[in-house]
Amino acid sequence: MSILRVDHVGIWTGDLEGMRDFYVTYLGGSCGPLYENPRKGFRSYFISFAEGARLELMSRAQGYPSSKPGAEAAGYAHVAYRVGSREAVDALTARLQVAGISVVDGPRVTGDGYYEVVIVDPEGNRVEIVE
């Protein structure tokens, strides 16, 4: 298996623009374009820094869906690991499924262009594996 690297960490927020401004103004981030999925009422920004992983700030029109393990909730949403290719995503997905790890979504191409699978770790945290 290839060496994983953290690609981004996702945070749910009720004030998307306020959070964007905070990370850009005070922590030196650079903001990418707004991504919107009107069908899901979803909006997000990716914040890049000089080095390391990016931050994905996310909001939904209807608020936070749930607080049960593995579900979307306020605050921490997910950490994403990059594996380098679609084939590597598929191979790791198959290995995880054989081990009984819960696959929540995918593999699929997302609206913002990622090829990803979403799994749930043993404590219910969402983890994205991206190409």
What is the three-class DSSP state of 71?
coil
What residues are paired with 60 via a beta bridge?
Answer: 42
Is the pTM above the cut of 0.85? no
Average pLDDT over residues 57-75: 66
Residue 2, SS3?
coil
pLDDT tens per residue across span 17-64: 988 998 898 778 899 999 999 988 899 999 998 888 999 999 988 765
Read off the pLDDT band of 1 (50, 70, 90): low
What's the farthest any 2 CA atoms get from each other in the chain?
45
- Domain coordinates of the chain in residue numbers? 5-130
Give the Cβ contact number of residue 43 at 10 Å: 18
CATH number of 5-130: 3.10.180.10
User: Of 3-7, 26-30, 68-72, 106-110, which gets the smallest average pLDDT?
Assistant: 68-72
Cα 29 to Cα 13: distance, rounded to the nearest angstrom:
17
> How far is 97 from 17, CA to CA, in rounded Å?
38
Residues for the chain: how many in total?
131
